[in-house]
Amino acid sequence: MPNIVVLVKQVPDTYSERKLSDSDHTLDRESADAVLDEINERAVEEALLIKEAQGGEVTVLSVGPDRATEAIRKALSMGADKAVHVSDPALHGSCVLQTSKVIAAAIGKVDGVDLVIAGNEATDGRSGAVPAILAELLGYPQLTHARKVTIEGASIKVERETDEGITHLEASLPAVVSVGEKINEPRYPSFKGIMAAKKKPVETFTVADLGIDAGEVGLANASSSVLEAAPKPPRAAGQRVSDEGDGGVKIAEYLIAQKLI
Amino acid sequence: MSEVLVLVDHVDGEIKKVTFELLTAARQIGEPSAVVVGSPGTAAKLKESLAAYGAAKVYVAESDDATGYLVTPKVDVLAALVEKAAPAAVLVAATADGKEIAGRLAARTGSGLLVDAIGIENTAGSGDGAVVVAVQSIFGGAFVVKSKSNKGTPIVSVRPGGLEAEQAQGAAAEEAVDVPAADAAKSARITGQEPIVGGDRPELTEASVVVSGGRGVGSAEQFEVVEKLADAFGAAVGASRAAVDSGYYPPQFQVGQTGKTVSPQLYVALGISGAIQHRAGMQTSKTIVAVNKDAEAPIFEIADFGVVGDLFAVAPQLTEEVGKRKG
């Protein structure tokens, strides 16, 4: 009966315009519509599928501003049992390593974790490294970019799918898994699930609650910092012609002039 | 001059193009040392090409364990080398494996992690005092950001195709290093591998030319028109999310926010409207050519050359022109 922690993250909707704030080059989280990152729904779904087959408990974990409660509620309404939310103004501007350290500490607050499941890459930061860094910090094996997960007793098998192809992986629990796009189709929360989610426990921690000094996190102590950030000058529209039966030839002429063919 | 470690990305005894880009970038900072982690005998096959792109040293970390476990053997080797050689930076390819290696290495060595760089600058000139600045393109190219590491050794993952490889002669002096034994409880064992069967086309993120089709292609069968143009260029084939969602083309070829990010020399968009979703995955391409029936399609706002017209008339004609030129 695996005890599963699923990581979820509230991200700016990729269909809206995303900005960096002028003052400190951090993500302007207020300016864009926020949603539960799509890949996280697949992570939650996978946890629920394992629970339905083998029992156990699913805890949702999110590190982020108060707005992250929306993402947590969505995961709970899909069927997760409880949630842990780490929210602390001191976290603002934390780098991926600091954030991973906080997540690892928060995972430590959940008893007897067998499996940590995350999305393989968030659509905002796109570092694609958080699950691997967590495995490093927790001392767990990493089975990332999964398109299929099988758990048998204390061992886990994963089919990893990347640009390189498929890699079959095997390890012992506890382990960190990240899921890719193809793993499953996430369910929609039912009305009953949405109602039930309102009564599910959400435990909130500050950084200090996790035994981490506020001075270790946040923009001022990040392991990397942004020197300058500028909106890319919008690509100017180039030439445009209407096809008069010679559109292909026109493109070829352009490409030849540009030395591209 | 201080060393810069470059993790060699290789498969089946062949070096991936991105490795040459990393070696080129490394020369901005100091003296490139290539790090080959692989099964016994790998480095011997790769050495010559590494020398041709300026590798002064080649660290050879070979063992059966090196390929038997996911990611961790490479992290182990690099971490030991960071301690031993005190490099000015470590560069890895921003692939799925590379991003994970970089993240773990930064965590283990207490270093700053600079993710998915499209360029590397040294603000102190070459020499021992190198200050490594990574140029990054974020939110699908909407912002350009420069960042630096504040701790330890800068660990940088560099986006394939982000910069151009240039040859330079290097000594490629070999030095053997140990691959630490894997800790089975903390590692994922590789029990099998199935390389991608992508046919003869180049990999989407490595290709210098990408030809993509969108909803306007209309059906899976008609995607042939996209493939034919791609083959004329020797290009990779991509697809917009709309085309993938409609079942015209498999998801692993999706370009966009929720798919791959590409920055080829030339990107040809056929029947793609150019939603933000899609632009996020391709707007850092050097040159963009678009063909669309709709003169109002947003793709024309970012295209260097656009043709308003029927892709089924324009693309075959272009295929023929490219064929003539290459023939």
Over A67-99, what HEC string results?
HHHHHHHHHHHHCCCEEEEECCHHHCCCCHHHH
pLDDT at B38: 96
Best of B191, B263, B273, B307 to substitute, by most chain A Cβ atoms within 10 angstroms, is: B307
Per residue in B235-254, pLDDT tens? 999 999 999 999 999 988 99
Tell the residue number behind the tokens 């030319």, with chain if given: B209
Q: How far is CA A72 from CA A45, A75, A154, B128, in A?
A: 14, 5, 28, 48
B212 reaches A (C-beta below 8 A): no
Residues B223 and B313 in one domain: yes
On the question of pLDDT at B128 being above 70, the answer is: no
Residue B192 domain-assigned? no
What CATH number is associated with residue B215? 3.40.50.1220
Residues B131 and B78 in one domain: yes
Ramachandran region of residue B71, left (φ > 0), alpha (ψ -120 to 50) or beta? left
Q: Give the integer Cα–Cα distance in Å for B314 and A244.
A: 10
Residues B146 and B270 in one domain: no
Per residue in B207-246, pLDDT tens? 889 999 999 999 999 999 999 999 999 999 999 999 999 9
- B230 lies in which domain range? 209-326
On the question of pLDDT at B43 being above 70, the answer is: yes
Cβ of B102 and A129 within 8 Å? yes
Q: Give the integer Cα–Cα distance in Å for A143 and A173.
A: 11
Residues B12 and B104 in one domain: yes
On average, the pLDDT of chain B sits at 92
pLDDT at A221: 83
Cβ of B142 and A231 within 8 Å? yes
Provide, as residue numbers in chain A, all residues whose Cβ is less than 8 Å from the Cβ of B99: 127-129, 132
B194 reaches A (C-beta below 8 A): yes
Residues B217 and B250 in one domain: yes
Tell the residue number behind the tokens 């996978």, with chain if given: A46
DSSP E strands in B231-299: the ranges are: 236-239, 266-270, 287-292
Residue B196 domain-assigned? no
Q: How far is CA B280 from CA A63, B2, B286, in A?
A: 26, 36, 14
All residues at 6 or more sequence positions from A241 whose CB lies less than 8 Å from its CB, including other chains? A247, A250, B306, B307, B308
Residue B194 domain-assigned? no
Residue B201 domain-assigned? no
CA angle A198, A50, A76 (to 5 degrees): 10
B13-39: average pLDDT: 94
- When computed from its CA atoms, the radius of gyration of chain A, rounded to whole angstroms, is 22
Provide, as residue numbers in chain A, all residues whose Cβ is less than 8 Å from the Cβ of B187: 141, 171
Q: Which positions of chain A have pLDDT values less than 70?
A: 11-23, 25-36, 122-127
Q: Give the integer Cα–Cα distance in Å for B308 and A150.
A: 50
Per residue in A47-57, pLDDT tens? 999 999 999 99
Cβ of B258 and A181 within 8 Å? yes
The answer to whether B220 touches B309, Cβ cutoff 8 Å, is no
Residues B96 and B175 in one domain: yes
Q: What is the ipTM of this complex?
A: 0.87
Q: Give the integer Cα–Cα distance in Å for A92 and A127.
A: 17
Residues B145 and B95 in one domain: yes
B292 reaches A (C-beta below 8 A): no
Which residue(s) pair with B143 in the sheet?
A231, B138
Residue B157 domain-assigned? yes
Provide, as residue numbers in chain B, all residues whose Cβ is less than 8 Å from the Cβ of A246: 317
Cβ of A250 and B139 within 8 Å? no
Helix (H, G, I), strand (E, B) or coil at B302: helix
Per residue in B262-301, pLDDT tens? 989 999 999 999 998 899 899 889 899 999 999 999 999 9
Residue B191 domain-assigned? no
Query: Of B61, B77, B116, which is closest to residue B94 (Cα–Cα)?
Result: B116
Helix (H, G, I), strand (E, B) or coil at B29: helix
Q: Give the integer Cα–Cα distance in Å for A41 and A119.
A: 8
pLDDT band (50, 70, 90) for residue B306: very high
Q: What domains, with CATH codes, occur in chain A?
A: 3-221 (3.40.50.620)
Best of A21, A158, A260 to substitute, by most chain B Cβ atoms within 10 angstroms, is: A260
Residues B225 and B270 in one domain: yes
B186 reaches A (C-beta below 8 A): yes
Handedness of CA A28, A31, A34, A39 (dihedral sign): negative
Count how many domains chain B has: 2
Full strand arrangement of the beta sheet holding A239-242? A239-242, B305-308, B287-292, B266-270, B209-213, B236-239
pLDDT at A186: 94
The answer to whether A176 touches A211, Cβ cutoff 8 Å, is no
Residues B240 and B314 in one domain: yes
pLDDT at A126: 59
Residues in chain B: 327
pLDDT at B57: 96
Nearest to B108 among A95, A136, A250 (CB): A136
pLDDT at A124: 56
pLDDT at A147: 94
Chain A nearest-CA residue for B155: A224
Nearest to A242 among B138, B309, B322 (CB): B309
Residue A260 is encoded by which pair of tokens? Answer: 């591209």
The answer to whether A230 touches A110, Cβ cutoff 8 Å, is no
Residues B225 and B313 in one domain: yes
B238 reaches A (C-beta below 8 A): no
What CATH number is associated with residue B166? 3.40.50.620
B263 reaches A (C-beta below 8 A): no
B35-41: average pLDDT: 96
All residues at 6 or more sequence positions from A243 whose CB lies less than 8 Å from its CB, including other chains? B307, B308, B309, B310, B313, B314
Residue B202 domain-assigned? no
pLDDT at A122: 65
Provide, as residue numbers in chain A, all residues whose Cβ is less than 8 Å from the Cβ of B325: 252, 256, 261
Best of A163, A168, A184, A258 to substitute, by most chain B Cβ atoms within 10 angstroms, is: A163
pLDDT at B40: 95
Residues B67 and B134 in one domain: yes
Query: Of A49, A18, A48, A55, which is closest to residue A35 (Cα–Cα)?
Result: A18
Residue B74 domain-assigned? yes
Residue A2 is encoded by which pair of tokens? Answer: 């695996």
pLDDT at A162: 87
CB atoms within 10 A of CB A231: 11
Residues B153 and B241 in one domain: no
